[in-house]
Amino acid sequence: MEDKIPLRLAALGHPTRLAVFRLLMRRYPDRVPAGDIAAALDLRPSTLSSHLSSLTQADLVAQNRVSTSIRYTINMETVRGTFDGLLLECCRGRPELCASNLPLSTQVPPNGSKTRFNALFICVGNSARSIFAETLLRDLGGDQFNVFSAGTSPFSVLNPHAVAQLKAKGHEVSTLKSQHIDEFRGADAPTMDFVFTVCDTAANEECPPWEGQPISAHWGIPDPVKATGTDAEISLAFQTAYGELRNRILAFTALPLRTLDRISLQKAVDDLAH
């Protein structure tokens, strides 16, 4: 493993390759077509192909063919092994410097005043998918969570089909609103324990790091707002998005959040995207 580390660091030393790597990390565990990567980063196909080849040769990125398309994803086992190799000696001598193995509950203040985890769901418009997720976790998570949602370019109003779907499922919607992600940054914003993106476009965007290093994951869901056809077909798209998010959030609330170490918890929330 260690003899491969210089090659991997060299691959990440180029700013464009690092940008590709970071985008795929944000989209993990998605398998992303090259065209989507090129569009998100404004790269020519030939340029992207060269960088993907370097990352693949370094075993940081894996590729597979889906029909006629080649798709790319992070080789997470290699990435974790690489960073473990870099930090191993550090953690042997100074474990407090390498907090990735500490339980998430160690982030709770020593006085025990923090009794709930803060969770934020992000998409672009903050009018449907992230609103579904916010409502579902608030209602299914009991008193474990303070839940929020936001958009990178939020709409001024919630999608009426999303609101109708939530009402039909018996959820309270009067307090829901669309808001910008910037409302959750700054000195007065709550420190997040979990940050989830639920649309590919938001996950593609390079965002400043969050205070407190929250557990983050990409739970990409097809956008029901883009559904066309009859009223029944559009309604089905919203029902499907709601159902997929409900299944993931039920599984998420069942995790032993206060006892899992950060690496295990990160893997668990990533696995829920499958």
Which positions are catalytic?
Answer: 123, 199, 207
Strands (E) across 21-163 are located at 32-33, 61-66, 69-74, 117-123, 145-151
CA 148, CA 171: separation in Å to the nearest integer?
15
CA 254, CA 252: separation in Å to the nearest integer?
5
CB 1 within 8 A of CB 85: yes
The string of DSSP letters for 227-255 reads: --SSHHHHHHHHHHHHHHHHHHHHHHHTS
CA 201, CA 154: separation in Å to the nearest integer?
13
Fill in the amino acid letter for 25. M
For residues 158-193, one letter each, b for 16 or more C-beta atoms within 10 angstroms of the residue's C-beta and e for the rest, the string is bbebbbebbeeeebeeeebebeebeebeeeeeeebb
Distances in Å between the alpha carbon of 227 and those of 179, 208, 235?
Answer: 23, 31, 9
Backbone angles phi and psi of 72, in degrees to 5: -125, 145
